[in-house]
Amino acid sequence: MASAQLKSRAAESRVEADVEMQDEEEEPLPYNLVEKLQDAGINAADLKKLKDAGFNTSQSIVFAMRKDLLSIKGLSDQKVDKIIEAARKSTHAGFVTCSQLIDKQKNKFFLSTGASKLDQMLGGGMDSGAITELFGEFRCGKTQLCHSLAVMAQLPPTMGGANGKVLYIDTEGTFRPERVRQIAEGKGVSPEAAMDNIVYARCYNSEHLAQLLLEAAALMVNDEDRFGLLIVDSIMGVFRVDYSGRGELSERQQQLGKVMSRLQKMSEEFNIAIVLTNQVMADPGGGCAFMPSHPKPVGGHILAHFSTTRVFLRKGRAEQRVAKVFDSPWLPESECVFEIFAGGVRNGSD
């Protein structure tokens, strides 16, 4: 397991029992490999074409539009219909009762941020199978929180982690391995192992981001260790540069919708927590001298609808930051104070 390397000597005896128990009861994969469709009569040559096109699991086929499968060279209408039918049967894509849904979601987890008050506000932490958006002005702690989560995700569940590797997509060039080392040392784990378990990519434009997400899905299927977290810091950085003005707004939102849909499907397909940071924009006409308006997250309704939980971050005193639940389908509006320090983030004084 990815986190096996991370056990410090001081915590080894405390964590050993949990690791042994997890080894005995291997967690089933949350997805079905596309190769299993061969049992339904799909030939190996067609399965290879699907994999080459980025369809690595049965779920990814269920999520896809029929026209996307037809665009794959060598797949006819009849073959595509047969593939879709086999994929839907293998994933049981249909109606279920609430009780059955709860049973299907029993392997979901909450990833700790490192600050217990912030975890409590978020209902336990960053939710797997969902998208959590962190937005706010510069220097409000978004990237610092991402660095902390990248280390926390590798820890055992008993320590608030997910026993998994991390995918980190950096669109602004703000990722720092030195900060990961510092946080890992603060958690009492091996900095080298922590950095080896973070798979990093520098993203330069919105088309590159879409390609990186395809590569990320292939990595999660082919790597022998499971992944627990995918971070995009920040989601709108490349879109704001690639598309400018009202004339390109419609196209920008369409492409953003495709990327967000892909992220949402990946969170469910691989049962991982997805954390996005987002920039904000000023609203010059939205306030007055006595009641200034708060900055608004960019991305419009597309980003708002796809994000499961949205958290607004703002600066506090010194190293303190304030987090507020801005929107969530199940969490009440509330806020808490956390603090940035050498070992990541921790509770702040209210």
Residue 99 CB-density burial (10 A; 0-12 exposed, 13-18 middle, 19+ buried): exposed
Q: pLDDT tens across 92-127, in order? A: 888 999 999 998 889 999 999 999 999 999 999 999
> What pLDDT is recorded for position 26?
55
Contacts of 320 (CB under 8 A, 6+ apart): 337, 338, 339, 348, 349
Find the mean pLDDT for residues 277-304: 79
CATH hierarchy code of domain 34-91? 1.10.150.20
Q: Rounded to an integer, what distance in angstroms lies between the CA atom of residue 86 and that of residue 92?
A: 10
pLDDT band, very low/low/confident/very high, at 27 (cuts 50, 70, 90): low
**Looking at 80-142, which runs of residues are DSSP E strands?**
110-111, 126-127, 130-136
Is the pLDDT at 12 greater than 90, yes or no?
Answer: no
Average pLDDT for 263-292: 83
Among 97-101, 130-134, 290-294, 337-341, whose mean pLDDT is lowest? 290-294
Mean pLDDT of 75-84: 95
| 34-91 and 110-347 have identical folds | no
With a CB cutoff of 8 Å and minimum separation 6, the contacts of 92 are none
Q: Any residues with CB less than 8 A from the CB of 72 and at least 6 apart, and which? A: 49, 50, 53
* Residue ranges with strand state E in 238-272: none
What distance in Å separates the CA atoms of residue 228 and residue 165, rounded to the nearest whole number?
6
Distance (Å, whole) CA 15 – CA 7: 7
The pLDDT assigned to 43 comes to 93
Tell me if 181 sits within 8 A of 191, measured CB to CB: yes
Q: Which residues on neighbouring strands pair with residue 33, listed in sequence order? A: 57
The predicted structure's pLDDT at residue 5: 54
Q: At what angle do helices 177-187 and 142-152 cross, to 10 degrees?
A: 50
For 329-342, the DSSP string reads SSPPS-EEEEEEET
Terminal C-alpha separation, the chain = 38
Which fold does the domain 110-347 belong to in CATH? Rossmann fold (3.40.50)
Give me the residue spans of the domains in the chain: 34-91, 110-347
In three-state secondary structure terms, 262 is helix
- pLDDT the model gives residue 247: 93
Rounded alpha-carbon distances, angstroms, from residue 130 to 133, 269, 270: 10, 11, 11
Looking at every residue in the chain, the average pLDDT score rounds to 89
Can you tell me the mean pLDDT for 200-220?
96
What residues have CB less than 8 Å from 36, skipping those under 6 apart? 58, 90
